[in-house]
């Protein structure tokens, strides 16, 4: 049986990630479970479209803070009619912090759905069937989800002919050359807590727990730029008493619009050795989905780990790099950024050459002007000398004066042109 689990963890809380891991493990007993991670409500719609195209069971897990809002948005998008469930509404009366509107939001379920009420009614789950497909929503709270699975989802699956598959096992561990190298170097990679690492852990964490440590550092962004935030996150993920480890981090998927109006995505990945942090911004290609972008980012992160290991293995023992140095942030260029930088460099060179040529022209001009002045002065001295001599001889013929002035003007013009 094909199963699709979509987890929405906007805040990146470790508790929500743990609940998503639990649901993935539980659902995998019923068949092959495809896991999709979303960091924003807007990404859930696209993930659902892909899931309904191939899966027989579609499960959506949402962190508690966004559960009611996401539930109503998803049901509205799917055009599923809702009704207020009396059992959930009754339990919600124990929550004096909820006003009438929020009670109605949490008590709303699809008409005719099987309901899995939580103890307080808050973030109650449900399951509904449409044709041969089953759709259910559960909160990403491990304790609550565990009770719903045992007392609600499993009986519901049994009633609808969805049985556990004999021999169904979690995904087999993946042999990574990076993990082998890390073992040989006696190093570990500490991953900072982030929603995008849930699937990475699913793919590569099993069997590599000795070198990949996921229960690690987390902090609020607090308006910091993504590049600086990821650099700090990867560096600070390394425990203070660890001097032989790397720190890694992956951001949520950011959504933007290209100049052509097409929706594009980007994600940041970072790797630190404690002294410096390398941060790469990954931009989506046309028609590339957020999940595909994240998987490409995973591969790049593994490549970065391998490259860092090679650098350290070949590093001279006398290397002066110190873990106490100020972290250096390096952002990888996209092809478009590289092209733009080259264009800017060419433009800068052209303007520099123009500036040099202008300076030379000005210099030659003033030198020419000085030469012209010197020539003029010499001509005037010669004129005075000739005039004095002519006065002694005869001063009536002044034709030589015009010829001398023509020579002076010609000499000045020639000097200026040079």
Q: Are residues 368 and 322 located together in one domain of the fold? A: no
DSSP 257-296: E-TTS-EEEEEEEEEE-SS-EEEEEEEPPTT--HHHHHHH
Q: What CATH number does residue 233 fall under?
A: 3.90.950
- This prediction has a pTM of 0.50
Q: Are residues 15 and 102 located together in one domain of the fold? A: yes
Domain ends where: 272, 304, 332? 332
pLDDT in tens, 7-63: 998 887 878 888 888 898 899 999 988 888 888 888 888 888 888 888 999 999 999
Q: Are residues 240 and 379 located together in one domain of the fold? A: no
Tell me what the mean pLDDT of segment 252-279 comes to.
Answer: 85
Q: Are residues 65 and 107 located together in one domain of the fold? A: yes
Whether 165 is covered by a domain: the verdict is: no
Domain ends where: 332, 360, 393? 332
| pLDDT of 413 above 90 | no
Helix (H, G, I), strand (E, B) or coil at 26: helix
Per-residue model confidence (pLDDT) at position 359: 59
Q: Are residues 281 and 394 located together in one domain of the fold? A: no
Q: What CATH number does residue 18 fall under?
A: 3.40.980.10
Lowest-confidence segment of 81-85, 137-141, 250-254, 270-274 by average pLDDT: 250-254
Q: Are residues 60 and 11 located together in one domain of the fold? A: yes
Whether 166 is covered by a domain: the verdict is: no
In this structure, what are the phi and psi dihedrals at residue 59, rounded to the nearest 5 degrees? -115, 135
Whether 134 is covered by a domain: the verdict is: yes
| pLDDT of 376 above 80 | no
Whether 70 is covered by a domain: the verdict is: yes
Residue range of the domain that includes 44: 2-159
pLDDT in tens, 152-194: 999 999 998 888 886 545 455 567 889 989 998 999 999 998 7
Q: Are 30 and 168 in contact (CB under 8 A)?
A: yes
Whether 366 is covered by a domain: the verdict is: yes
Q: Are residues 26 and 115 located together in one domain of the fold? A: yes
CA distance 1 to 165: 8
Q: Are residues 185 and 265 located together in one domain of the fold? A: yes
Q: Are residues 281 and 135 located together in one domain of the fold? A: no
Domain ends where: 98, 128, 159? 159
Report how many domains make up the chain: 3
Q: Are residues 326 and 358 located together in one domain of the fold? A: no
Q: Are residues 205 and 85 located together in one domain of the fold? A: no
pLDDT in tens, 115-155: 999 988 989 999 999 878 999 999 999 999 999 999 999 99
pLDDT in tens, 197-216: 777 887 888 888 899 998 77
Whether 406 is covered by a domain: the verdict is: yes
Whether 214 is covered by a domain: the verdict is: yes
3-state secondary structure 172-184: CCCCCHHHHHHHH
Q: Are residues 139 and 181 located together in one domain of the fold? A: no
CA distance 160 to 157: 5
Per-residue model confidence (pLDDT) at position 269: 93
Average pLDDT, the chain: 77
The sign of the torsion formed by the CA atoms of 209, 188, 195, 65 equals positive
Whether 164 is covered by a domain: the verdict is: no
């Amino acid at each position: 049986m094909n199963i699709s689990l979509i987890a929405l963890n906007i805040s990146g809380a470790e508790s929500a990630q743990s609940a998503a891991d639990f649901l993935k493990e539980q659902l995998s007993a019923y068949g092959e479970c495809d896991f999709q991670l979303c960091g924003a409500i807007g990404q859930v719609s696209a993930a659902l479209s892909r899931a309904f195209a191939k899966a027989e069971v579609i499960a959506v897990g949402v962190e508690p803070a966004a559960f009611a809002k996401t539930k109503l948005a998803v049901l509205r998008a799917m055009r599923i009619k809702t009704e207020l469930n009396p059992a959930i509404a009754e339990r919600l009366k124990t929550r004096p912090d909820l006003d009438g509107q929020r009670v109605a939001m949490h008590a709303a379920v699809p008409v005719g759905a099987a309901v899995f009420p939580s103890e307080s009614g808050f973030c109650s789950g449900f399951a509904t069937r449409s044709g041969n497909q089953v759709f259910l929503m559960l909160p990403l709270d491990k304790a609550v989800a565990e009770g719903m699975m045992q007392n609600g989802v499993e009986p519901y699956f049994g009633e609808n002919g969805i049985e556990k598959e004999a021999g169904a096992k979690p995904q087999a561990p993946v042999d990574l050359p990076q993990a082998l190298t890390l073992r040989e170097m006696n190093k570990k990679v500490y991953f900072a807590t982030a929603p995008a690492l849930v699937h990475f852990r699913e793919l590569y964490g099993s069997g590599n727990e000795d070198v990949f440590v996921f229960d690690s550092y987390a902090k609020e962004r607090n308006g910091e730029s993504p590049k600086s935030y990821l650099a700090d996150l990867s560096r600070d993920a390394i425990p203070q008493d660890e001097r032989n480890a790397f720190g890694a981090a992956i951001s949520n998927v950011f959504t933007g619009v290209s100049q052509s109006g097409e929706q594009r995505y980007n994600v940041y990945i970072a790797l630190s050795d404690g002294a410096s942090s390398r941060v790469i911004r990954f931009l989506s290609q046309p028609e590339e989905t957020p999940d595909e972008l994240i998987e490409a980012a995973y591969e790049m992160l593994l490549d970065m780990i391998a490259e860092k290991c090679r650098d350290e293995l070949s590093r001279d023992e006398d290397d002066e790099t110190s873990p106490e140095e100020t972290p250096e942030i390096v952002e990888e260029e996209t092809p478009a950024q590289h092209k733009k930088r080259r264009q800017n460099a060419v433009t800068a060179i052209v303007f520099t050459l123009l500036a040099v040529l202008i300076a030379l022209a000005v210099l030659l001009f003033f030198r020419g002007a000085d030469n012209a002045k010197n020539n003029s002065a010499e001509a005037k001295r010669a004129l005075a000398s000739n005039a004095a001599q002519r006065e002694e001889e005869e001063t009536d013929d002044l034709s030589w004066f015009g010829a001398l002035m023509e020579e002076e003007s010609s000499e000045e013009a020639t000097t200026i042109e040079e």
